[in-house]
Structures are given as C-alpha cells and as structure tokens.
C-alpha cells in the first residue's frame, strides 16, 4: 500500500525517475513533458500524507490539484539544478512557472504561452551560447593551462551538487 512507503524512498524513487523522464533528457519524446508532469504530481501526492490518504480512499478524484506545484520547481529544489543553469539553462517547465504573462482573472491562453515559451527558449539558447563562448575563449586565446584548471575546478564544484 502507498501509505507504507517511507518519505525518503519516495523522494529517491521520484528523483531517479525524474532524471530519466525529464523533457530536456528526452527532446525527441513528444510525451516527455507529460510524463514528467505526471511524475511530479505523483511525487507531491505520495509525499503529502493527507493527499496520499485521499488518493488511497478515493483515487485521483480525491486529491486536490490546487496544491500541486510545478514538477520542475520541485526537481530544482530537491536536486539543485540551479548550479547547472550555466550549462543547461533554466528548465523549460521552471521557465513557465516564472513567466508573468497572465493577469489575475485572465483566462489561460495556450497560444500566448507557446509564443512566450518560444521567445524564452531562444533567449535561453543565446545566453548559453554566450556563456560557452566566454568559457572557450580562454582556450582559443592559447591559455590552455588556465582553461584546464578552470574546467577541473568546475567539475569538482558541480560533482558536489
């Protein structure tokens, strides 16, 4: 039964699965975002005793979707993805959560959101290209030893995340 699963096991299992199904890891899978969303919602239900009890008693109809948080935000909180933003950018779903494109009471507009996400993605790609260009410039300018020292320090910093 779900209520017997320990919270740490839930976090580990969902975290492991999140890394496998994340849309950025599966860019050619049209269901990746949906799978990640479902996993994030499952994590939130399983990790909240009240939500889990409601799910056990009434199934999906028993849980409150108002309390569900963006799975990318949960993933970032749990696994420190902000340390990797200079390499992968802000996760797409986290970007959606941070967009301030709808005003209070305004009806959700999927087209407006898609258009904004295209702009955000282009900005993400340009930012990452600039960061990469800056990091590689040291090597290109002939400072191979400094570049290697920086890269090794960066590997050490990120491996502790």
pLDDT tens digits, 10-22: 665 666 677 677 7
Are residues 69 and 108 located together in one domain of the fold? no
Boundary residue ending a domain (30, 50, 79) = 79
Predicted pLDDT at 105: 58
Are residues 74 and 140 located together in one domain of the fold? no
Residue-range definition of the domain harbouring residue 49: 1-79
Provide the number of structural domains found in the chain. 2
Are residues 49 and 120 located together in one domain of the fold? no
Q: What are phi and psi of 69, to 5 degrees?
A: -100, 155
pTM assigned to the model = 0.45
Boundary residue ending a domain (79, 99, 130) = 79
Boundary residue ending a domain (79, 103, 131) = 79
10 Å CB burial of residue 74 (0-12, 13-18, 19+) is buried
pLDDT tens digits, 146-155: 999 999 999 9
Distance CA 38, CA 75 (A): 13
End-to-end CA distance of the chain: give it in Å, rounded. Answer: 33
CATH number of domain containing 3: 1.10.287.110
* Helix, strand, coil abundance in the chain, percent, nearest 5: 75, 0, 25
Alpha-helical regions (H) of 49-109: 49-58, 71-79, 85-88, 92-98
């Amino acid at each position: 039964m779900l209520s017997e699963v320990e919270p740490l096991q839930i976090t580990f299992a969902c975290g492991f699965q999140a890394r496998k199904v994340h849309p950025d890891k599966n860019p050619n899978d049209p269901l990746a975002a949906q799978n990640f969303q479902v996993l994030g919602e499952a994590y939130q239900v399983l990790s909240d005793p009240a939500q889990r009890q409601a799910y056990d008693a009434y199934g999906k109809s028993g849980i409150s979707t108002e309390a569900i948080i963006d799975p990318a935000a949960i993933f970032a909180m749990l696994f420190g993805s902000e340390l990797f933003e200079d390499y992968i950018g802000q996760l797409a779903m986290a970007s959606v959560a941070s967009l301030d494109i709808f005003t209070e009471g305004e009806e959700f507009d999927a087209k407006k959101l898609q258009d904004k996400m295209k702009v955000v993605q282009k900005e993400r790609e340009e930012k990452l290209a600039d960061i990469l260009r800056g990091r590689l410039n040291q090597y290109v300018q002939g400072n191979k030893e400094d570049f290697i020292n920086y890269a090794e320090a960066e590997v050490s910093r990120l491996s502790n995340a």
